[in-house]
Amino acid sequence: MERLQKVIAESGMTSRRKAEGLITSGKVKVDGKVITELGFKVSDNNEIVVDGVKINKEDKVYYLLNKPRGVITTTNDDKGRKTVIDLISDDKRIYPVGRLDYDTTGVLLLTNDGEFANNMMHPKNEIDKVYIAKINGFLTPKDIIALKNGVIIDNVKTSKARVKVRKVDKDTHTSIVELTIHEGRNHQVKNMFSSLGYEVLKLKRERIAFLDLKGLNSGEYRRLTPKEVSKLYVLLNEKKSSK
């Protein structure tokens, strides 16, 4: 038996917090009866309808994709462009965990586990996301300190980051910089460099937590192993318990 709001969140329909709001507002039925109690527990045999839509419990799946350039990180696109969902052969209703820009490549997780996705994306859980950026120019010591301590984007300061200059090319006047963050704002990495006057020429997400692209060419994907999924849950629980 599991709490109703957890089951709704795990279905991928919405976050747990929004599920709680739907329950208290009387928009959730279990076996035809309106339930407004947040502690209400359900089993696999119960029929759950949320705002008129029936929830179908599926086996949870977790994929790691090496996202190519020129693919949209969404479940569908009204302009007919290829999406990350098009790259994965699975009949289940999966969706990306967070997003990567159209021209950004690298590690992307996809799942049908809504609660897992929300926990992985939430900044408070501080899951490392490691990016490799090719930028124009050379970072000054002052700029490195600024990135580490947080820069202002849209009047909000970013959280502290880790910064490492991997390579400097004086001939092309470019640098390769490793940036580790745990937030996921729209265009965050590009905007962080832009706030200091640098343009990101190429961007790749190299790692999420301990998951990297080893063995995956561009456009290829694999299922996470049960051990990897378990390790991610342990990591998430450790982050929560340390708060």
pLDDT band for position 10 (cuts 50, 70, 90): confident
**What local confidence, expressed as pLDDT, does residue 212 receive?**
97
Helix, coil or strand: residue 228? helix
Same domain, 149 and 217: no
Same domain, 81 and 183: no
Residues contacting 207, CB < 8 A, separation 6+: 107, 128, 129, 130, 213
| Catalytic hit among 31, 78, 90, 101 | 101
Helix axes 114-121, 226-241, angle to 10 degrees: 50
Same domain, 162 and 201: yes
Q: pTM (2 decimals)? A: 0.80
CATH number reported for the structural domain that contains residue 204 in this entry: 3.30.70.1560
Contact (CB, 8 A) for 158 and 192? yes
CATH number reported for the structural domain that contains residue 92 in this entry: 3.30.70.580
CB atoms within 10 A of CB 223: 13
Query: Distance of CA 53 to CAs 8, 13, 29, 33, 193, Å?
Result: 11, 10, 10, 14, 43
Same domain, 33 and 97: no
Same domain, 191 and 138: yes
**What local confidence, expressed as pLDDT, does residue 6 receive?**
85
Same domain, 155 and 183: yes
Same domain, 204 and 215: no
CA–CA gap between residue 90 and residue 88 (Å, rounded): 6
Same domain, 89 and 160: no
Same domain, 221 and 116: yes
How wide is the angle at C-alpha 132 spanned by C-alphas 126 and 137, nearest 5°? 120
CA–CA gap between residue 235 and residue 140 (Å, rounded): 34
Chain segment 30-69, per-residue pLDDT in tens? 999 999 999 899 987 899 999 998 887 778 899 999 999 9
In the predicted model, is pLDDT for residue 135 greater than 90?
Answer: yes
**What local confidence, expressed as pLDDT, does residue 240 receive?**
67
Same domain, 6 and 69: no
Active site (annotated) includes residue 212: no
Could you identify the residue written with the tokens 């998430």?
236
DSSP state of 72: B
CATH number reported for the structural domain that contains residue 35 in this entry: 3.10.290.10
Number of independent structural domains in the chain: 3
Token pair for 19: 């599920």
Burial level of 16, CB count in 10 A (0-12/13-18/19+)?
middle
Same domain, 70 and 114: yes
Same domain, 38 and 101: no
pLDDT band for position 208 (cuts 50, 70, 90): very high
Domain that holds residue 218: 62-123+211-241
